[in-house]
Structure formats: structure tokens, C-alpha cells
Amino acid sequence: MSTTRFQRRKEDRPREITEAAMAEFAERGYDATPMAAVAKRAGISKGLLYVYFDTKEALFKSVVRSFVTPKLNALRQEIDTSSLSAEAFLRGPFLDFARQLPKSRVRVLIRLMIAEAHRHPDLARWYWENVVSHGIDALRTLVARGVEN
């Protein structure tokens, strides 16, 4: 019975670590967040944290993949499957999406990238390639559909 409990816990650990990292990044910013603080908040040792994430950059990327990527993928899926006109989509689902961003935890990551990207150009480039460019591509698809119609 205890084996199952530990297996479940082990499977939950990456999510628990990214949750803790998100909270630490929100409170301290990227640069000021030590890995030890993330480990402490997650209730694990710093050494165990490094088993899951080699660097703070890898941890940050995992946080982005956990919190931002699903929202962006859902928007993209909605654009691809919606029967709404481009204008109706922009005034409806897209506007709803945009209004929810400032209320969501994603705003923390956006704020961090704006504030700290100049100190971390490789991370900023990764964020552009894996988040911003996908959002722009989704909008291009929507606008192209509108022009076509």
C-alpha cells in the first residue's frame, strides 16, 4: 500500500515543483528566486529539485509549459475549430481570452519576461519562439480566415 502512495507522490512531484516555482517567481521575480526557496516551498530538498530540473532556466521553461502553453493551445484549438467569423471570434472568444489574462497567473510570467528579458536573452528568445510566436501565428490564422471570407 505504501508503494502506491510513494509512486503517486513521485508522479505528482514535477507539478508540485512547478506550482512552488510559480509562486516564488511571482513573489521574487526570476533573478531573485533561488532554487533553494523553490525546493523549500515544494517541501523537498534542493538536491531532489535538481533531479527534476537541472537549472533554474529549465524550471522556468517548465512553469511556462505548465501554465501558459495549455491556455495558448486551447485558444489555438478554438480558432481552428470555430465556425464563427473572424470578427465574431475576435469580439467573443478572443476578447474573453484577453480579458482573462490579467486575472490569471499567466500575467506573472508575462510581467517577468518584460521586466527581466534583457538580462536573459536566451530565455527571452525561447519565450518568443515557444509562446509569443505561437500566439501571433494563431492570430494570423484568424485574420487570414477573415480576409478569405
- For the chain, the C-alpha Rg in angstroms (whole number) is 18
Alpha helices in the chain (DSSP H): 2-28, 35-42, 46-52, 56-67, 69-81, 86-89, 95-100, 106-116, 121-127, 133-148
pTM for the full predicted model: 0.85
Share of the chain above pLDDT 70, in %: 95
Q: State residue 11's pLDDT score.
A: 81
Query: Helices 56-67 and 106-116: crossing angle, nearest 10°?
Result: 140
Q: State residue 5's pLDDT score.
A: 45
CA distance 119 to 14: 27
Is the Cβ–Cβ distance between 97 and 138 less than 8 Å? no
**With bands split at pLDDT 50, 70 and 90, how would you rate the model's confidence at 149?**
confident
CA distance 24 to 61: 14
Model confidence at 1: pLDDT above 70 = no
Q: State residue 90's pLDDT score.
A: 93
Q: State residue 10's pLDDT score.
A: 76
* Whole-Å CA distances, 124 to 41, 105, 127: 26, 19, 5
Mean pLDDT, rounded, for 63-73: 93
Q: State residue 2's pLDDT score.
A: 46
Mean pLDDT, rounded, for 50-75: 95
Work out the angle at residue 4's Cα, subtended by the Cα atoms of residues 42 and 37, and round it to the nearest 5 degrees: 5
